[in-house]
Structure 1
């Protein structure tokens, strides 16, 4: 693979939309899970969620990065200031430890890696690119609520990131939140 990582801007929507729409894991959520109340996720159908996310992309700034192999999307990571993902700030597994500035501390909240690119190290590369992007936008830190790997891991369980992949990208554990989830943080000086 010859990869490049690029922010999702409105001009890339025609490439991004079919990539997300073809996957059941992404087509049901459209990366709106952390942005709106759960009742709203349940009440909206996938077309409404897609429209809301497209509007978010149109309004800017870019809500994350795409991994492209040539012109073909193979991965996605949502990375934004914590202020953009209110449910991430309140979730038991993802809320910050202690006070943070939600504009200066960012959230690495969703990953999607195409079947063809799984087990290739792409999650680590996406996380690294996302942290570099966030730092370039003034982020002081990037948080993730990663999942510990386990034998019964299902294909969509890793959407929050996997601990080993994020460790390879420079994230460090802040606090174990459960037997399977760890709040992690990346800082530019780590």
Structure 2
């Protein structure tokens, strides 16, 4: 069954303990990347180690520091258990987005505009998957970006096709339906299975 809103609490990562974030990422799947795919300059598996990526994530989240001026994502709790993560920051915080063709295909826009934020990753902890947690996480990311002064929020989700099998890793960027529910609209389709979606504030 999908999570009921009363079961969930979603907070900025700097208001969560680091151990909770580490439990969400685990040691497999997202635990290898540590949400650094768009952060590491170069090829992530060649130009960084797991220990470096973990240290980067810990610094970016500023976990356990509610007074921190910035953080790199939001943490979802289901009945007080750490259950999910969404990465949301100003788009300029992701160096690899500058060189990826996905955000820019068919578009002419200032890549250095700090007013545009981006959602780049979802992680749902094992044991909490399959219950629609990415939907409230996406909505929370929209609200968070708006509250922090963003002019717009973008996402780069996958288009899932009926009958076509997908793996968990393919949809770490989210799916189009998740962002549609949060109010984002498609602005371009750089590939058959990838879209750019956006909401203005």
- TM norm structure 2: 0.85
Alignment correspondent of 2:157: 146
Q: Note the C-alpha offset of 1:10.
A: 6.5
Structure 2: how far apart are the matches of 1:102 and 1:72?
36
Q: Note the C-alpha offset of 1:64.
A: 0.6
Q: Note the C-alpha offset of 1:108.
A: 0.5
Q: 1:4 aligns with which of 1, 6, 9?
A: 9
How many residue pairs are counted as aligned between the two chains? Answer: 187
* 2:157 is the counterpart of 1:124: no
3-state DSSP class of the match of 1:152? coil
| CA deviation vs aligned residue, 1:2-28 (integer Å, no higher than 9, x gap) | 001101016521211122133x12111
From the two aligned structures, give the one with the greater helix fraction.
1
* 2:178 is the counterpart of 1:165: yes
Alignment correspondent of 2:65: none
| CA deviation vs aligned residue, 1:85-116 (integer Å, no higher than 9, x gap) | 12123211123732245310001001112343
Alignment correspondent of 2:86: 77
Alignment correspondent of 1:98: 108
Query: Which structure ranks higher in relative contact order (CA pairs < 8 Å, sequence separation ≥ 6)?
Result: 2
Alignment correspondent of 2:46: 42
Structure 1: how far apart are the matches of 2:69 and 2:23?
20
3-state DSSP class of the match of 1:19? helix
Contact 1:88 1:109 in 2 (8 A): no
Q: 1:86 aligns with which of 80, 90, 95?
A: 95
Unaligned runs of 5+ in 1: none
Measured on the aligned residues, the alpha-carbon RMSD in Å equals: 1.9
TM-aligned CA distance change 1:4 to 1:112, over 3 Å: same
